[in-house]
Structures are given as C-alpha cells and as structure tokens.
Structure 1
Amino acid sequence: MNAVTTDRPDASTATDRESWLARMEEIGEDAGYFEPLGRNHWAFFVDDGPNLLVTFETLDTIRAASPRQMPLGYTYTAGNGWSHLCIIADGPTWYRDDRVYRYFDRLVDEGFLEDFDRVVFYGAGMGGYAACAYSVAAPGATVLALQPRATLDPAFAGWDRRDLAARKLDFGSRYGYAPDMIEGTGRVFLVFDPREREDAMHAALFRAPFVTELHTPHLGDRLDDALSHLGLLTDLLDAVTKGMLSRDYFAQLWRRRRNFGPYLKRLLAIADERGQKKRAAMICRSVTRRLNAPRFRRRLDELEAELGKTP
C-alpha cells in the first residue's frame, strides 16, 4: 500500500472553495500546473515520473475526503515515481464540456500522453464514465473504472432512471459513448456490484474482449467508499499501476470482505428479509467464529431458539 508523503504540499489550509482553488493554483505552479477548463472543470498536473495516473474526481469529494484536501491520485502517487493528472469537476457535470474535449485534443496534438511509459485512467461512477470515455486519447492505456456508466443518453440507456437531470447533457458528440472510446486501450477493468441492476446493465455494454469484469456483490452503489473502508482501493490502484491486476489477483483481495462489517450486515439483512433463517444462522455462525461480533452472536441465539421450535 502506498504511504502518504506528509511533507508534500497540500491544501489543508483552505477554508472555502475560493481559498482551495487559490491554494491548488499555488501547488500547480511548483509541481506542474493547475488550469481552469471553463467554469466547472480544472486540470491539475504533477510532473513526478515517467508513468502517468489520470484520475477524474470532484471538487466536493476532494475537499471532504481528508484534511489534506487533495485528489486521491495526488495522494496515491506521492513518492512512487508516477506523475498525476487530475480532471476535477465542480458538480454533476459528467465531464461533458467543450473545454474538456479541447483540453484532451490538445494533449493528443502535443503528444503529451505519448511521453509516458505507462498511462492508467481511473474514476468512480461519473469519474468511471469519464475514465473510459477519455481513455481514447491514450492508445494502449489501462483503465480502472468503478461503476462506470456507458452513457446517459436516453436513446441508449433509457432504462437508467438515476441522474435524470444529466440527460440534458450532450452524450452524443465527442468522447461520448464510453464503450466505443475504449477501443484503443490495452486493458479495461470494470468493478461493480452485479446485484445493482443498472450498474450491471451498463457494464454489459462494454463488450470488448480486453474488458475484465471484477464483481463486488453486496457492496452496493457507493463502491468507492466501500472499497476505501475495506482498504482495497489503494491495493487496486497498486495492482493496476504495476500491471498485476487480474481476476485471480482480485479474488485474493476480495477475501478481505469476510471481515468487513457493512458487507456482513448486508448479507444478514438480505437473509432476514427473505425469511431464510437457516442461511441467516449460517452467516452468524461464520462471523462469530472468526470475529468479535456481539450483534451477530445475539442474532444467532435468537435464530437458534426459533429454529429449535420449528417442528
């Protein structure tokens, strides 16, 4: 797991949006650049090595994630020889903005992305869509996308009733339909909970043979938060940047869920909701054998008493 370099400049002194933007501009001047892309997007680049991690993040999430108020990619790449490019969105823009398109056009025209030995795109949800959609700018890149949408164009994804306000955005023009935009990549890893119907349907639209689905059943629709609490998000970034990520490697990491309280509680809740008392008792026995879990012990006592009364 990557260690945080505590003496790296950060935006911890920012008290509001404007002071945060000012501080990011100061950091960008020293490390690379911090460039506005219209009113609602910024490009933050740190030149720190021959490989490049491109992340798509939001201003609110960056500021709320830690006291340092820095992008996930910036924290991850600290001291590991990777440069970092973060495209920051203010609000649910879905990165659908002509200034963002032109920025990536410029990177292509200048051969900027070709200067790096390896390029990895990462994003979650809205950022996962963008990581796939803009990966076309870096042929051969690797993509790690959590819960990516293929598009929000109702002509292709009218069954997805989430984010209805975003349907007014233009998903039909440049960098639009994400499954088409990944065609030049090397590997694409899609991480999602297959029990989340809409996420599974979006993933099914990415049909290329170089796409690998990594399933996280029962983690729900806040996958980046859940993986962070599990301690898996950094491990996934480690694996994908080192070229180690695969279904088998992910299966090893995924075993960590067996000690993750929210996951275990969700399993029990599903069994209880379905009236599956024997399955619920089996879950409780497994948990109480391995963990100090008073809630599961109490529920197991209740279930055993109920099952003991069953003729």
Structure 2
Amino acid sequence: MASIGEAHGFFTRISARHMALFVDEGDTLVLSFDRADRTWHQGDSGLPLGFDCLRALEYSLLSILSVGRTWFRDAFVEEMLQNLAQEGFFSSYKEVLILASGPDCGHAAARAARFVPGAKVLLSRPAAAISARHAPFETRFTADRRTDPDTPLPLGPEALRHAASTMILFDPIHTLEAAQAALFTAPNTTRIALPHSGAALDRTFTKGEVIVPLSRHLQSGTLTPQKAREILRPSLRRDPGYLARLSTNAAYSARAATVARNSRP
C-alpha cells in the first residue's frame, strides 16, 4: 500500500493505530473505512475495501484503516477528515461514495458523512451506536464503551441526514443487528434485509465481484433492494457459514412443521 500511495497519491500513518491510503484516479471518490488486519490476513494480495472499484471503475480511493477494532475513535482521524472537508478535497469530486463493512467500520463511516454532504452511502452491518445511553440493548461491545466511541456527536444516523442516499445491509434474524439497523432513520435511508447472512455478509461485501457492481449502481442511483440482493446472493450461496445457517433454519422449520402436523386433533 505504501508503494501504491507513493506512486499514485499518498499513504500515511495518521496515528499509532490508524493509516490512510489515497489513490487519485477518477472524478468519483470512494471513501472507505476498513480494518488493516482484514487486508493483512490476505497476504500480499490484501488491499482495502474499495480498491477493486479503482481498478474496475477508475474511481479514486481514500481508505481509512484501523489496526484492530478501534471504532476509529481518534482525534487525528477526525482532524484529517475535517481538514480535507475544509480544504475542499471532497467537494472537488463529482461524486463521493462512502463504503464500510462491519459494526465498527460502519459506525465510523456513518459519522464521517457529516464531512461529505451529498455523499452516497452503502454500509454492511453497521452499528449506529454502542453506548448504554444510545444503544442500551447492545451487549456485544460493552468493553468498548470505555473509549466512548459515540462522542463527539453527531451519531451516524444524525450525520447521515447530510447524505444524498444511504443503504444499510443487515441480517434481520440477528436481533442486535436488526436493532442497530432500525436506528438508521435519516431521510433517504433504505434498509435491505438479508436473512441468515450474518458475518458472511461482510465477507461477501468486500469481494470485487460484489463491491464493484454494488458501487456502480450506488453511484448511478440504480441500487434498489432487489438489485442488491441479486448481486449479493450468488456470492452468499458460496459461503459455508451462510449455507450452514440456511441448513439449520431449514431443519428447524421442518421439525416445527412436523410437530404442527402431529399436534392437530
């Protein structure tokens, strides 16, 4: 990433646990939030979310990466985004797409929308909030509440009021995930339910065969729930975790149907 940034834009350490890669290519910019450890697990081929759009669609890319689950709670990250906004960096592009996958990256990406008015946003399984005050139902990230990633305000759902459109992908079968999705109530927000997808949705979302057509339709304004499902389902159906959940659900439904039949007078 350092060599790519040096040749086509920049790659910089923002702070001890955050870095940024910028590649200047076209007049549409992808602003993505991703985990550096996710890319490292892929070895030399590992590149941040949105890089496939750069190669296939000739979009520019600004990727903010965290080392571990930091929730991007860092004054230097906030300062960088604010400075870029004030300098007219985001407004210099014809369009800006904001992409993120997972609770922490989605949380940060939604909050960042306040720096990019008019952006088109696509988030997979984001957390709107994790504090006891704003999300008392959330039990997955209680240890992370010590860093208070929900401050400073605004929270993501409020920041997204500045977005042109927002798409939220989530699994409605997962109670906490569905509750988080329900908090995203800004105008022009569309929630797209993908039952039993779970963590497989994040794995699928980051693949080039998925993120490229999703981004293309997001940019053109043609990304509907039906179109998103058409793009995601073929890849989901090749994910072992997703198939396992479908099989478990099918077996449970079959048992329930048998019990119901046998319970009839």
TM range (shorter): 0.7 to 0.9
Structure 2, unpaired ranges of 5+: none
Shift of 1:54: 0.7
Cα drift, residue 118 of structure 1 = 0.5
Q: Which residue of 2 aligns with 1:243?
A: 221
Written as runs of structure 1 = structure 2, the 5 A alignment for 1:25-174 is 25-65=2-42, 67-125=44-102, 126-174=104-152
Inter-partner Cα distance in structure 2 for 1:81 and 1:229: 17
Contact 1:230 1:256 in 2 (8 A): no
Are 1:276 and 2:251 an aligned pair?
A: no
Measured against aligned partners, the alpha-carbon deviations of 1:85-137 in whole angstroms (never above 9, x if no partner) come to 00010111001100011001101110110000010000011111111110111
Bigger drift between 242-251 and 212-221 goes to: 242-251
Q: 2:195 aligns with which of 217, 221, 239?
A: 217
* Partners of 1:25 and 1:253 in 2: CA distance: 32
Deviations 1:28-77 (A, max 9, x none): 12111112211111111001111100111111101223532221322331
Paired residues, what number? 257
Provide structure 1 residue ranges, at least 5 long, that are not aligned to the other structure.
1-23, 280-306
Deviation at 1:159, TM superposition (A): 1.4
Q: Does 1:188 align with 2:152?
A: no
CA displacement 1:120-173 (0-9 Å, x = unmatched): 000011111111110111110000000010111111112111122211123343
CA contact 1:271–1:277 (8 Å) conserved in 2: no
Would the aligned equivalents of 1:113 and 1:119 in 2 still touch at CA under 8 Å? Answer: yes
TM-score under structure 2 length normalisation: 0.87
Distance change (3 Å), C-alpha of 1:182 and 1:33:
same
Amino acid at match of 2:246: L
1:302 is matched with none
* Identity across matched positions, percent: 29
For residues 260 and 25 of structure 1, what CA distance do their matches in structure 2 show? 33
Larger CA Rg, structure 1 vs 2? 1
2: CA distance, partners of 1:42 / 1:258: 30
Once residues 142 and 132 of structure 1 are traced to their aligned partners in structure 2, the CA distance between those partners, rounded to angstroms, is 11
Q: Secondary structure at the match of 1:150?
A: coil
Structure 1 runs, 4 residues or longer, greater than 6 Å off: none
Structure-1 separation of matches of 2:180 and 2:98? 18
Alpha-carbon distance in 2 for matches of 1:253, 1:277: 32
- Which amino acid is 1:169 matched to? T
What is the rounded CA distance, in whole Å, between the counterparts of 2:171 and 2:72 in structure 1?
24
SS at match of 1:75: helix
Cα distance between partner residues in 2 of 1:277 and 1:264: 20
Partner of residue 179, structure 1 = 157
Q: What do you get for the CA RMSD once the two structures are aligned?
A: 2.5
Q: Distance in 1 between matches of 2:236 and 2:204?
A: 13
